[in-house]
Amino acid sequence: MASSSSRTHLWLHLLYLVLVLVQSGCLLQVADSTTGIGVNWGTVSSHKLKPSTVVDLLKQNRIEKVKLFGSDPDVLQTLMGSGIQVMVGIPNEMLATISSSTAASDLFVRQNVSRYMVKGGVDIRYIAVGNEPFLTSYAGQFQSLVVPALLNLQQSLARANLAAYVKLVVPCNADAYESSLPSQGAFRPELTQIMTQLVSFLNSNGSPFVVNIYPFLSLYGNSDFPQDYAFFEGTSHAVTDGPNVYSNAFDGNFDTLVAALTKIGYGQMPIVIGEIGWPTDGAPGANLTAARVFNQGLIYHILSNKGTPLRPGVPPMDIYLFSLLDEGAKSVLPGNFERHWGIFSFDGQAKYALNLGLGNKLLKNARNVEYLPSRWCVADPSKDLTDVANHMRIACSAADCTTLDYGGSCNGIGAKGNISYAFNSYYQLQMQNSQSCDFDGLGMVTFLNPSVGECRFLVGVTDTTTAHSSAFTPPGRWCAIVWMSVLWGVWVFLM
Ligand SMILES: *[C@@H]1O[C@H](CO)[C@@H](O)[C@H](O)[C@H]1NC(C)=O
Ligand SMILES: *[C@@H]1O[C@H](CO)[C@@H](O)[C@H](O)[C@H]1NC(C)=O
Ligand SMILES: *[C@@H]1O[C@H](CO)[C@@H](O)[C@H](O)[C@H]1NC(C)=O
């Protein structure tokens, strides 16, 4: 009897201690420090910053987690010694090879992962195997490759002694699951089996489920979608789901996934948001104010640790904002906004005030950006511009003119403004090559910035680490010739 009562005392003491810790915020602090805010660093841009400038930008803004879409050697070399945690990516197109060949999978791990995981190297934490491979619009073409690729890569990681540290994940689009109410969430019927295999694999290897969630696209694609439900400022269109009330699309979407995971037996699976953000241009709902309000609301919501109705107090493990920089060479098939997701413009300048919750109150701009000279190409006002349509078409099919269209920041600068904008975009894309401002004599170079209001006429940046239009510089060609003669010599010698 005495011993059991002293045990009760011990338990009460422990309980008291826990309560004191909770009260003083100690436990909350622990939970707080585990929610990471990272960014996606995509590089589909015609004006690329040097990787070293981007890594410095990340450090200046205390961003400690970055998600890549590949494993570009220049980028990874620059991340060496930075202390930044990295998710590298394997493009969908590589899944066929990696899923069918352990040699290919070993080679990938050796060349693109283990090589960098040395002292003072790159802190690679995740490998994203494919990017949204189950997207409805891919019509199932990558579907059967994902799990075999995971199995091969897991073995390759084990052989490289990295399996305990580097986790395999599969970023999924939120179209992998559906439901009108969050609690009814389920994976698409044709994905149920594959998702069960995938999630069981993730679970047994300690990997999170990675999902990309885009309230902007819900709003953009659906004129009935209540605008205020996309944001975090409260809504007059709350969704009532049994005892739970949802006041923003993010929570509703997140819990739909939680319900879908629960349905296949993995309700506790940790979730990482692989992409989330709001574009600033290229559509009526894409503007600076909306992007700031969405991203800031999201960050405060995540950092409040409130979680969602189905996961109270458990926010996502990490979120990766989409995106760090604008990518002016992305396909505009989904819409013109595709080129304008950055919290920074292509040249690393903050677009709006944003507190990432990482220590700085505001974003800091990139330092030491190397711009081309301050000059622009515009339409010569003394010329007759009636025959300019073809020039414009060619300029805009090569360069980015998305801001000119309806909903863009340069829509409304007039016919002559349109022409000048197109000419300048092309001229900067061609690294200000003087012939590229000719347009049969209709263009002229100016030293006066033609930007008007929010419509910015850009000046390109120089990315001296990669060669431009002329792929072989003279010394490069010379080296290639020498190498070819050496190889030819070896071949002749061996015969
Ligand atoms: C893997 O690394 C090699 C060698 O650095 C590089 O050429 C290749 O592009 C990388 N593969 C991917 C998918 O990024
Ligand atoms: C910015 O976008 C929001 C919604 O995304 C919209 O309500 C607002 O009218 C837009 N602002 C401007 C100035 O276009
Ligand atoms: C400028 O170009 C945009 C996009 O093609 C078009 O919507 C707009 O009407 C043009 N403006 C004028 C004045 O022609």
Longest CA–CA span in the chain (Å) reads 104
Nearest CA to ligand 2 atom 10: 285
Instruction: Tell me whether residue 64 is one of the annotated catalytic residues.
Output: no
CA of 448 to the centre of ligand 3 (A): 23
CA of 412 to the centre of ligand 3 (A): 7
Q: What are phi and psi of 345, to 5 degrees?
A: -70, 175
CA of 280 to the centre of ligand 2 (A): 10
CA of 401 to the centre of ligand 3 (A): 11
**Res 15 pLDDT > 70:** no
Residue 3: exposure state from Cβ atoms within 10 A (0-12, 13-18, ≥19): exposed
- With a 6 A CB cut-off, is 441 part of the ligand 3 pocket? no
Q: How far apart are CA 112 and CA 120, in angstroms?
A: 16
Average pLDDT, the chain: 90
- With a 6 A CB cut-off, is 82 part of the ligand 2 pocket? no
Please state the domain extents for the chain.
33-339, 376-446
- Three-state DSSP string of the chain: CHHHHHHHHHHHHHHHHHHHHHHCCHHHHHHHCCCEEEEEECCCCCCCCCHHHHHHHHHHCCCCEEEECCCCHHHHHHHCCCCCEEEEEECHHHHHHHHHCHHHHHHHHHHHCHHHCCCCCCEEEEEEECCCCCCHHHCCCCHHHHHHHHHHHHHHHHHCCCCCCCEEECCEEHHHEECCCHHHCEECHHHHHHHHHHHHHHHHCCCCEEEECCHHHHHHHCCCCCHHHHCCCCCCCCEEECCEEECCHHHHHHHHHHHHHHHCCCCCCCEEEEEECCCCCCECCECHHHHHHHHHHHHHHHHCCCEECCEECCCCCEEEECCCECCCCCCCCCCHHHHCCCCECCCCCECCCCCCCCCCCCCCCCCCCCECCCCEEEECCCCCCCCCHHHHHHHHHHCCCHHHCCCCCCCCCHHHHHHHHHHHHHHHHCCCCHHHHCCCCCEEEECCCCCECCECCCCCECCCCCCCCCCCCHHHHHHHHHHHHHHHHHHHHHC
Nearest atom within ligand 2 for CA of residue 289: 1
How confident is the model over 288-339, as pLDDT tens digits? 999 999 999 999 999 999 999 999 999 999 999 999 999 999 999 999 999 9
The C-alpha R_g of the chain, in whole angstroms, comes to 26
Domain 33-339: homologous superfamily in CATH? Glycosidases (3.20.20.80)
Looking up tokens 């805010």 gives: 37
Looking up tokens 């990675």 gives: 210
CA of 254 to the centre of ligand 2 (A): 25
Q: How far apart are CA 109 and CA 152, in angstroms?
A: 10
- With a 6 A CB cut-off, is 453 part of the ligand 3 pocket? no
Write down the catalytic residue from 64, 132, 190, 370: 132
Instruction: Tell me whether residue 132 is one of the annotated catalytic residues.
Output: yes
Nearest atom within ligand 1 for CA of residue 91: 13
Ligand nearest to the CA of 233: 2
- With a 6 A CB cut-off, is 70 part of the ligand 1 pocket? yes
**Res 492 pLDDT > 50:** no
Q: How far apart are CA 457 and CA 377, in angstroms?
A: 9
% of residues, the chain, pLDDT over 90: 86
User: Which pTM was predicted?
Assistant: 0.88
Which of 281, 287, 403 has most ligand 2 atoms within 8 Å of CB, for mutation?
287
Looking up tokens 């915020």 gives: 25
**Res 473 pLDDT > 60:** no
Nearest atom within ligand 2 for CA of residue 219: 5
Nearest CA to ligand 1 atom 14: 71
**Res 210 pLDDT > 70:** yes
Confidence grade of residue 495 (pLDDT, cut at 50, 70, 90): very low
- With a 6 A CB cut-off, is 43 part of the ligand 1 pocket? no
Six-digit token string for 484: 């070819």
% of residues, the chain, pLDDT over 70: 87
